[in-house]
């Protein structure tokens, strides 16, 4: 290659000796300041290696004398965020829950805080967005509530849970296992199912349904009401509407009456701070089914009283 | 540089020190044109942030403002939102094509007159002449020992450099905040740290690039000369030494002694002396030439003195150079400027500009973006109806509060309400107050009868209720459970 080097006539500069289709490259000397910039970069790099984590070792990297780490950066940022949020959190804590909707900005902050907590604690059962899981966990987005859909009721349910055996204030009721325990026989259950499907507009009135109505009044009306409108004080669902947690077809209804589920929800009052519970309530309330009118205040239900829920 | 005898170049140095450039003061039409451009560009740069523009109560009154915190770009009566960034992209494309246009017509005119590196270098070279004197004095001083005079002159000069650099950096930040407020904050120590950091960085770069790097930036760092070289053709104007007229060179005396033996160049070296990049244009077109045309002024002055026609160094195309060399006459300047290539560039450039202006005039300042909530896709309601949830993003891009309606079309029996309302109060439409110049996020609930297709398209629309009924709409889906679910 060296032999192909020549001096370019126009510039007086040597070429490097390569040639591509007649195009040659000049061996123009680098400007000296470039060299100094290069040295400066080396000095900078040396300083950086000493100050910051740099060399990978077996288990971790060298720490650097400044002791900087992205983890402590994150901690600092989280701390700063908590401090920034503090005034809002305090304001939410100081505002009675039922007054929150009247303060849109505070309400919005509470809903957002609730959404964050929901994603951590609630989505496992109720699903992202509170849609619930068919035949397992109720949807929180509809307008059909088992225990009440106003803010106070929702908060109470979150704080005390449903059917927590070790907690006095928990929401509790128990639907008897009419089939399993032999309270009703298969034909009777079929008649009750017919009646339930008639009052929910899924079947035309029939002789079976008429027989079922008598059985319903004797066994079910105590909790579900004479018309099947349900009773929120005992978490007895409305049977006349289109929303069915465990299914409204014949098979599902039969299965429910034979062996009810009596679903359980953990209580959060002792695990989460009151502000978080409050924010969770506003979030659930905001999902679309929140009810403005508050339900009549409940007398605290003690364990064992769930037997009242019997037919 | 290696001597021409050294055919291998083995001994060529690896690194070359910068050669000092001490451009001589010169006067002439091109120099005066450069003065004017320098005055205009610097005035635009320093002055623009101080122009006020009344936008009413809810928007800043600075004519040109890049409001990063609130993500707005204001330029006189135009306000650009982040989602309209394509206008900025359009401007950049126009700037690019504009540079193509200028380059194909008049070569490196951008480099020679308007480039910030050129303008600031020119400014700093005036400072050099002001403090150190003209070319010869500067050279003497640079080569002389470090006397008290040299030290004090250097100190004064660098102080002026620093002042200019600082004002340059200081003016930059004014584009990003209310200029009068920021000035007060800056001097009372209340401005954001990023403001001080920006000024510090720009002061440093201006000081170094304008005070010391100068032509090195053009020759070694800037990509534009390389791109320009590709943009030019044999019909682009170039600063050209007309060697066919000038060579062989000879002093006036020699020419008098041997009439007819010498060309017009008297080898006075004035063109080299005035060149801000320190090159000799008589070696032919080269990357170091930014086509500032100062050598034209210098040579024209010399030609006038010795009583020869001007234009020994002049703007000239490669085509004309060939013609003139062969004894012909070059084309008039207008002809070289107006040719298909420049006209096509100009056509594209103005088409983009016109399209942008048109769409700016047409854009509605009320914008709707709808998102269908996916979890859950639909909600079974107690009475058999189905509810879908939507997130609405309403952009009120006007600087006044607005009352707007949101309506649906193509969904039978639909009732809508927002978080503020409830199903009991739901109706055919909802009315919303929008804050000026802001985005409002809304959760919209729509309930419709359960009997219908599992997935159905319909329209959500918004329009102003306050005199300007223009608005926006979005086609979106309504989902129902599949039959049997
Ligand atoms: S050669 Fe002439 S036109 Fe080119 S940079 Fe120097 S003075 Fe300017
Ligand atoms: S200024 Fe004109 S006459 Fe003087 S050396 Fe340059 S080209 Fe020749």
Q: What is the pLDDT of residues B44-66, one digit of tens each?
A: 999 999 999 988 888 888 999 99
What integer is the mean pLDDT of A36-53?
94
Q: Whose CA is nearest to atom 5 of ligand 1?
A: B289
426-485 of B, contacting A, C-beta below 8 A: 443, 445, 450
Asked: is A91-170+265-307 a CATH 3.40.630.10 domain? The reply is no
| Domain ranges within chain A, ordered by starting residue | 2-51, 91-170+265-307, 186-234+246-251
Pocket test for ligand 2, best of B241, B244, B245, B270 (most atoms within 8 A of CB): B270
* Residues facing residue B405 across a β-bridge: B431, B463
Residue scoring higher pLDDT (A1 or B202) = B202
Model confidence at A37, pLDDT cuts 50, 70, 90, reads: very high
- Mind telling me how many Å the CA of A6 is from chain B's nearest CA? 5
Model confidence at A18, pLDDT cuts 50, 70, 90, reads: confident
Phi, psi torsion values for B431, nearest 5 degrees: -110, 140
Which of B2, B387, B423 is opposite residue A14, by nearest beta carbon?
A: B2
CATH code: domain B366-479 is 2.60.40.10
CATH 2.60.40.10 range(s) for chain B read 366-479
Ligand 1 contact via B289 beta carbon (within 6 Å):
yes
Model confidence at A3, pLDDT cuts 50, 70, 90, reads: low
Q: Whose CA is nearest to atom 2 of ligand 1?
A: B295
pLDDT at A301 over 80: no
Model confidence at A293, pLDDT cuts 50, 70, 90, reads: low
Helices of type H across chain A: 32-51, 70-94, 104-121, 123-126, 151-160, 186-199, 207-219, 221-224, 250-258, 274-286
pLDDT at A128 over 60: yes
Which of A30, A139, A238 is opposite residue B14, by nearest beta carbon?
A: A30
**Cβ distance of A14 and B283 shorter than 8 Å:** no
Segment A182-231, tens digit of pLDDT: 999 999 999 999 999 999 999 999 999 999 999 999 999 999 999 999 99
Which of A14, A31, A129 is opposite residue B12, by nearest beta carbon?
A: A14
Q: What is the pTM of this model?
A: 0.76
Nearest ligand, CA B312: 2
pLDDT at A299 over 80: no
> Which residues in chain B come in under a pLDDT of 70?
1-12, 483-485
pLDDT above 70: percentage of residues in chain A: 93
**Cβ distance of A29 and B12 shorter than 8 Å:** yes
Pocket test for ligand 1, best of B19, B279, B298, B311 (most atoms within 8 A of CB): B279
Segment A242-253, tens digit of pLDDT: 899 999 999 999
Segment A255-287, tens digit of pLDDT: 999 999 899 999 999 999 999 999 999 999 999
Segment B176-224, tens digit of pLDDT: 999 999 999 999 998 999 999 999 999 999 999 999 999 999 988 999 8
pLDDT in the model for residue A7: 84
126-165 of B, contacting A, C-beta below 8 A: none
> Which residues of chain A are within 8 Å of residue B384 when distances are taken between CB atoms?
201, 241-242
Residue B313 CA, closest ligand 2 atom number? 7
Model confidence at A307, pLDDT cuts 50, 70, 90, reads: very low
Pocket test for ligand 1, best of B109, B270, B295 (most atoms within 8 A of CB): B295
Give the distance (Å) from ligand 2 centre to CA of residue B112.
Answer: 20
The residue among B18, B382, B443 with the most chain A CBs within 10 A of its CB, best to mutate, is B382
**Cβ distance of A242 and B13 shorter than 8 Å:** no
Nearest ligand, CA B264: 2
């Amino acid at each position: 290659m060296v032999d192909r080097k020549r001096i370019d006539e126009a510039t007086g500069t040597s070429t490097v000796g390569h040639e591509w289709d007649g195009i040659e490259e000049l061996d123009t000397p680098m400007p000296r300041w470039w060299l100094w910039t290069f040295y400066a970069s080396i000095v900078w790099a040396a300083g950086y290696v000493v100050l910051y984590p740099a060399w990978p070792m077996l288990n971790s990297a060298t720490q650097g004398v400044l002791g900087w780490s992205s983890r402590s950066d994150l901690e600092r940022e989280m701390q700063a965020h908590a401090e920034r949020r503090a005034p809002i959190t305090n304001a939410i804590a100081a505002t009675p829950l039922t007054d929150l909707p009247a303060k849109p900005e505070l309400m919005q902050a509470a809903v957002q805080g609730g959404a964050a907590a929901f994603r951590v604690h609630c989505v496992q059962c109720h699903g992202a967005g509170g849609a619930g899981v068919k035949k397992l966990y109720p949807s929180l987005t509809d307008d059909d509530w088992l225990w009440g859909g106003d803010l106070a009721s929702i908060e109470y349910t979150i704080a005390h849970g449903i059917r927590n055996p070790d907690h006095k204030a928990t929401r509790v009721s128990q639907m008897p296992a009419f089939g399993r325990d032999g309270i009703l026989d298969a034909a009777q259950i079929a008649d009750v199912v017919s009646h339930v499907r008639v009052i929910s507009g899924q079947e035309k009135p029939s002789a079976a349904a008429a027989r079922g109505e008598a059985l319903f009044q004797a066994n079910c009306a105590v909790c579900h009401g004479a018309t099947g409108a349900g009773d929120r004080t005992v978490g007895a669902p409305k049977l006349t509407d289109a929303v069915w947690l465990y299914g409204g077809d014949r098979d599902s209804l039969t299965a429910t009456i034979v062996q009810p589920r009596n679903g359980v929800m953990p209580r959060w009052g002792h695990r989460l701070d009151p502000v978080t519970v409050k924010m969770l309530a506003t979030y659930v309330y905001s999902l679309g089914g929140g009810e403005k009118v508050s339900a009549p205040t409940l007398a605290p239900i003690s364990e064992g009283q769930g037997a009242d829920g019997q037919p | 540089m290696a001597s021409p005898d050294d055919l291998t170049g083995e001994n060529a140095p690896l690194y070359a020190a910068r050669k000092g450039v001490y451009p001589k003061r010169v006067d002439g039409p091109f120099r005066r044109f450069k003065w004017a451009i320098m005055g205009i560009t610097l005035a635009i740069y320093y002055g623009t942030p101080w122009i006020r523009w009344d936008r009413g109560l809810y928007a800043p009154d600075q004519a040109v403002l890049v409001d990063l915190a609130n993500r707005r770009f204001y330029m006189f009566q135009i306000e650009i939102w982040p989602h309209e960034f394509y206008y900025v992209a359009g401007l950049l494309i126009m700037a690019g094509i504009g540079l193509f246009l200028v380059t194909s017509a008049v070569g490196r005119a951008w480099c020679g007159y308007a480039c910030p590196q050129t303008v600031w270098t020119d400014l700093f070279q005036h400072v050099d002449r002001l403090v150190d004197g003209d070319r010869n004095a500067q050279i003497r001083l640079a080569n002389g020992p470090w006397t008290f005079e040299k030290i004090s002159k250097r100190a004064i000069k660098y102080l002026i450099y620093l002042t200019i650099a600082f004002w340059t950096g200081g003016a930059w930040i004014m584009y990003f905040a209310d200029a009068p407020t920021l000035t007060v904050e800056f001097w009372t120590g209340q401005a954001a740290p990023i403001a001080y950091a920006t000024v510090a960085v720009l002061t440093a770069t201006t000081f170094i690039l304008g005070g010391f790097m100068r032509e090195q930036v053009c020759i070694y760092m800037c990509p534009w000369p390389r791109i320009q070289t590709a943009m030019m053709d044999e019909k682009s104007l170039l600063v050209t030494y007309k060697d066919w007229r000038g060579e062989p060179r000879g002093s006036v005396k020699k020419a008098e002694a041997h009439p007819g033996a010498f060309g017009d160049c008297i080898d006075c070296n004035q063109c080299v002396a005035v060149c801000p990049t320190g090159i000799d244009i008589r070696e032919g077109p080269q990357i170091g030439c930014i086509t500032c045309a100062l050598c034209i002024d210098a040579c024209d002055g010399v030609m006038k003195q010795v009583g020869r026609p001007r234009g020994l160094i002049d703007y000239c195309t490669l085509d004309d150079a060939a013609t003139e060399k062969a004894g012909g006459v070059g084309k008039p300047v207008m002809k070289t400027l107006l040719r298909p290539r420049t006209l096509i560039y100009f056509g594209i450039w103005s088409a983009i500009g016109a399209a942008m202006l048109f769409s700016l005039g047409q854009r509605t300042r009320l914008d709707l973006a709808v998102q269908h909530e996916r979890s859950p896709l639909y909600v079974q309601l107690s009475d058999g109806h189905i509810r879908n949830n939507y997130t609405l993003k309403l952009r009120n891009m006007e600087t006044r509060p607005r009352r707007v309606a949101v309506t649906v079309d193509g969904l039978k029996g639909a009732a809508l309400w927002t978080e503020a309302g409830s199903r009991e109060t739901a109706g055919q439409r909802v009315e919303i107050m929008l804050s000026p110049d802001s985005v409002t996020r809304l959760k919209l609930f729509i309930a419709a009868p359960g009997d219908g297709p599992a997935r159905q398209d319909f329209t959500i629309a918004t329009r102003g209720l306050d005199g300007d009924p223009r608005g926006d709409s979005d086609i979106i889906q309504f989902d129902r459970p599949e039959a049997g679910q």
